[in-house]
Structure 1
Amino acid sequence: MSETKRCALITGGSRGIGRAIAVSMAGEGYDLVIGYAGNSAKADETRELCFNAASTNGKEIRVISVQADVATQEGAKALVEAAMNEFGRIDVLVNNAGITRDGLLMRMSTEDFDDVIATNLKGAFLMTREVARPMMKQRYGRIINLSSIVGLHGNAGQVNYSASKAGLIGLTKSTAKELASRNITCNAIAPGFIGTDMTKEMTDAAKEATLATIPMKKAGEPSDIANAALFLASEKSSYITGQVLGVDGGMGC
């Protein structure tokens, strides 16, 4: 990292992939804003893990957690204002907040479709719009959107989730083109089958069927996604923008 103290804002940062990214960034010395929807206990756990990771690596960091609904303009604005008030800058935005409301197309309610699009896609748009101005002013920024392999290939029973994650790819590429001249990159990560609370809810039969489609024959870990996010957030990725990085054990081959 450069001599500038970097600050990262991570939505959906209280658990799973978001937590893994937060802890990894803490270990590299990033100050952190952890956005979460409602579970303050999980957010507090993540804060402690971040402090421990930083201490282990001899880093001193500050971490705040902020409850906000990123699907609303008010929530996105509150997150960014909290970050700016506390740290005076936002160098990295990780749009990780996401929900599922799975069901077959014929049975899916309009509400379930709208809820997933609102959080997963609209939320990323609102957050990106809010951080664009401070990033442009400081002429530096890294925006990382958590898409999914289903955004590239689709998945039965997830038309809402697949649509939201495919939309994130379009958002990523357009944002990259708009902000590139201000030294702001925007990239997406497309995880495959990752061991999180979300995938733990699957039946054993569904898990076995999914594992059979992975050339590496195993699920990924949240740390695998965190490693990719660390690279895209770093100075080493300064000439990479508008790209989709698959972290999927070969599922997308």
Structure 2
Amino acid sequence: MNRSVLITGGNRGIGRAISEAFLKAGDRVAVAHRGTDELPDALNLRCDVTSTEQINAAFTAAEAAHGPVEVLVSNAGITDSAPLAAMSEDQFSHVLDTNLTGAYRVAKRASRGMVRIRHGRMIFISSVMGAAGRRGAGNYAASKAGLVGLARSIAREYAPYGITANLISPGLVRTEMLDDMPEEMRLQLLDRTLLKRPAEPDEIAATVLWLAAGESRYITGAEIPVDGGLGLGA
């Protein structure tokens, strides 16, 4: 494809699968992350999405190497769960700052180049929990629900510039986050998942790649569940 792609949180789990899928498709991929795991053949950039300065630096480096970012995948996210009564304001605020405000920061920075070339795809990784909620994870669920309003507002605002904004909402995915989930909760969610298994990361990546493809150019403001039926409320 040879597009300029930037993926936040693209070195582990779902993000890594997305990065590898774009690399396999022949795109120029910049991976912005806080960790030490790096992807061969990608431009690896140190970036904390809670820092506007680090985001600006990452985009500047990606643009210098690959040109204006044409596809943004806002995937960086964290969890810090606790029951509501025990959740501190810092716990709540930090998750929102990373998952939701971080997405705003990278989308705002990406919009500059996309407006200039009058073309762009913004893809946000939300969660089925944004609509369903999750016991003990009000901060995470709120951050993912907020992404829906953000993406749809961007879709309305930037459509005249040829920019689309969409969301993918996974259910259970076979990543470290699933491994860290309490066993009782994991089993309950698997039981509610109609296909009775977690998704593989490459199944989420395939949907991201499809949304970034030319065949999907008429889709904007959409939230696509990739959740095995978990969101149907079974």
Class of the TM-score when normalised by the shorter of the 2 chains: over 0.9
Q: How does 1:10-89 map to 2 (within 5 A)?
A: 10-37=7-34, 39-40=35-36, 42-43=37-38, 47-48=39-40, 51=41, 63-89=42-68
**Partners of 2:123 and 2:168 within 8 A in 1:** yes
Q: CA deviation at 1:137?
A: 0.6
Q: Is 1:172 aligned with 2:151? A: yes
2:32 is paired with a residue whose SS is strand
Q: Is 1:100 aligned with 2:74? A: no
Residues 64-116 of structure 1 deviation map (CA, whole Å, 9 limit, x = unaligned): 10011111211221121111111122110000000000011010000000110
**Partners of 1:189 and 1:247 within 8 A in 2:** yes
Distance 1:32 1:69 in 2: 18
* TM-score between both structures, scaled by the size of structure 1: 0.90
**Partners of 2:189 and 2:230 within 8 A in 1:** no
**Partners of 2:6 and 2:72 within 8 A in 1:** yes
RMSD: 0.9
2:123 is paired with a residue whose SS is strand
What's the counterpart of residue 129 of structure 1?
Answer: 108
Counterpart residue identity of residue 9, structure 2: G
Q: How does 1:233-252 map to 2 (within 5 A)?
A: 233-252=212-231
What's the counterpart of residue 6 of structure 2?
Answer: 9
170-179 vs 70-79, which moves further: 70-79
Counterpart residue identity of residue 27, structure 2: Y
Distance 1:105 1:120 in 2: 18
Q: CA deviation at 1:206?
A: 2.4
**Partners of 1:13 and 1:36 within 8 A in 2:** yes
What's the counterpart of residue 95 of structure 2?
Answer: 116
Q: CA deviation at 1:204?
A: 2.7
Counterpart residue identity of residue 238, structure 1: R
2:115 is paired with a residue whose SS is helix
Residues 192-216 of structure 1 deviation map (CA, whole Å, 9 limit, x = unaligned): 0111111111233322111111111
1:252 is paired with a residue whose SS is helix
Provide structure 1 residue ranges, at least 5 long, that are not aligned to the other structure.
52-62
Residues 47-66 of structure 1 deviation map (CA, whole Å, 9 limit, x = unaligned): 22xx4xxxxxxxxxxx2100
Provide structure 2 residue ranges, at least 5 long, that are not aligned to the other structure.
none
Q: CA deviation at 1:248?
A: 0.2
Counterpart residue identity of residue 33, structure 1: A
User: Across the two proteins, how many residue pairs are aligned to each other?
Assistant: 232
4+ runs of 1 displaced by more than 4 Å? none
**Partners of 1:214 and 1:249 within 8 A in 2:** yes
1:17 is paired with a residue whose SS is helix
Report sequence identity in percent.
Answer: 40
Distance 2:133 2:185 in 1: 16
Q: CA deviation at 1:35?
A: 0.6
Distance 1:25 1:201 in 2: 27
**Partners of 1:76 and 1:123 within 8 A in 2:** no
Distance 2:103 2:58 in 1: 12
- Out of 209, 228, 233, the residue aligned to residue 188 of structure 2 is 209
